[in-house]
Amino acid sequence: MFRKILIANRGEIALRVICAAKELGIKTVAVYSEADRHSLHVRFADEAVCIGPAKSARSYLDIPSVISAAEITNVDAIHPGYGFLSENADFGEVCETSGIKFIGPKPDVVRAMGFKQHARTAMKKAGIPILPGSVGILKSPEEAIELASEIGYPVILKASAGGGGRGMRIVHASEELAGHLASAQSEAGAAFSCPDVYLEKYIGRPRHIEFQILADQHGNVEVLGERECSIQRRHQKLIEESPSLQVSPELRERIGNTLKKAMAEVGYTNAGTVEFLMDETGSLYFIEVNARVQVEHPVTEFVTGVDIVKSQILIAMGEPLSTVLSGPVEMRGHAIECRINAEHPTTFAPSPGRVTGLNLPGGIGVRVDTAAYTDCVIPPYYDSLVGKLIVHGKDRPEAIARMRRALDTFVIEGIHTSIPLHQRIMADPDFQAGDFDTGYIARFLAK
Ligand code: MV4
């Protein structure tokens, strides 16, 4: 049983974890940078420790500072949230050697899932469909050219240690392959200290669909359905929903059952997300595993009624899923999330500054996850997410109507936000018809 946990994060997710801990009767410790002295996570935690200057590299990403704060306050465990140290296997190891439980998968599993090529091989072995491509990392341009001609162009080169679109190259013809391979390898080496690159068949205009899983320390895995995350710009998601209109009950059941087996086989524990691309025929192909709680977890919480963050804490304490969950997981209704960023709605320029006025929407089926308050200052040093507006309705049309009325009463003064962009998307006939893929935002902005 945990008595006290430290939250190694800031903003809305730090508050989200504090809420879960409070409901479990667990004390909390916030850590904060000098720029976050007046943040709500500092105010609502039982204790707070300043861990360094504004720049993340010297505070939220600084392992010795976070561990020192944990030791000084004598916590039992650390919840990393998302981003920052959440998928840093070295951090997980330091926690363990310091006698502090890391609320996430085991470091070896985090490390293995971080190498995409490794995750791909493991998923294939367990029967999860993957795209045709290299079996290991690419060893030579000749090997790459031979493989690509077998698969057929276009193909995509991906950094094994990459993610979020970094270190990727689309290759349309054999003449381009050697050059793109060399540049992908050097970019990957510089960015991730690992030059390994692999190759896959390229899918044009895919949909991005991800499955939420929970896995306990006793080999049990549950699947909490899927999320549709295709509405994104430059690898930043803007809108997520659950369920996906494109996933039939049969497909959900088939992928879900295979995932239970696959995640148990790789020794995965805690909450996790398995990302897929869907091609225009409706087939799903595994691309990567995210070994953390995700920004968009609330849409899954709305449709399943499962508290994912509380589940993470209980799993880390050793509880079996049979007691973490109150029965079989069922999906009810439809949920949509709009990410509210501090940025200009058409230029996407960052818009940090003081929030001079704030009105949060509420009412039936509406949830706002935010650390913003009137007169708070959004610092320029971190992610531009200022809040998430999530709605739940009996079906997708009701969820959209609810989102539209909630956006209409969501007022943030003093900074620019993405609220007006979301209002336009919710009114778009293509969005309303569910007619979109990962190219949607680029086309929408060009209209
Ligand atoms: C792909 C792809 C097409 N074909 N892989 C981008 C981020 C990384 N997580 C995987 N990504 C992609 N992988 C193959 N074989 C297209 C993308 C992609 C994408 C994926 C999900 C959401 C948005 C995207 C935007 C552009 C490209």
| pLDDT computed for residue 405 by the predictor | 98
| pLDDT computed for residue 343 by the predictor | 97
Ligand 1 mutation pick, 160, 198, 202, 208, max ligand atoms within 8 A of CB = 208
Pairing of strands 47-52, 27-33: parallel
From CA 336, how far away is CA 298, in angstroms rounded?
9
**Tens digit of pLDDT for each residue in 311-353?**
999 999 999 999 999 899 999 999 999 999 999 988 999 999 9
Q: What share of the chain is helix, strand, coil (3-state, %, to 5)?
A: 35, 25, 35
Q: Which CATH architecture does the domain made up of 132-201 adopt? A: 2-Layer Sandwich (3.30)
| pLDDT computed for residue 79 by the predictor | 99
Stretch 163-188: mean pLDDT: 91
Stretch 13-30: mean pLDDT: 98
Tokens of 313: 């804490």
Q: Which of 10, 111, 292, 339 is catalytic?
A: 292
pLDDT over 80 at 133, yes or no: yes
Q: Domain map of the chain by residue range?
A: 4-103, 132-201, 207-445
- What is the chain's alpha carbon radius of gyration, rounded to the nearest angstrom? 22
Pairing of strands 27-33, 4-7: parallel
Q: Is the CA virtual torsion 113, 117, 118, 119 positive or negative?
A: positive
Centre of ligand 1 from the C-alpha of residue 152, in Å: 18
From CA 360, how far away is CA 373, in angstroms rounded?
10
Of 153, 19, 14, 15, which is closest to residue 86 (Cα–Cα)? 14
pLDDT over 90 at 256, yes or no: yes
Side-chain half-sphere of 165: how many Cα atoms within 13 Å? 8
- Tell me yes or no: is domain 4-103 CATH 3.40.50.20: yes
| pLDDT computed for residue 98 by the predictor | 98
The pTM (predicted TM-score) of the whole model is 0.97
Centre of ligand 1 from the C-alpha of residue 245, in Å: 20
**CATH code of the domain made up of 207-445:** 3.30.470.20
205 flagged as catalytic? no
120 backbone dihedrals φ, ψ, rounded to 5°: -60, -45
Ligand 1 mutation pick, 235, 288, 437, max ligand atoms within 8 A of CB = 235
Output the ligand 1 site: residues, CB below 6 A: 131, 156, 163-165, 200-203, 206, 208, 232, 235, 277, 287-288, 438
Burial bucket for residue 302 (CB in 10 Å: 0-12, 13-18, 19+): buried
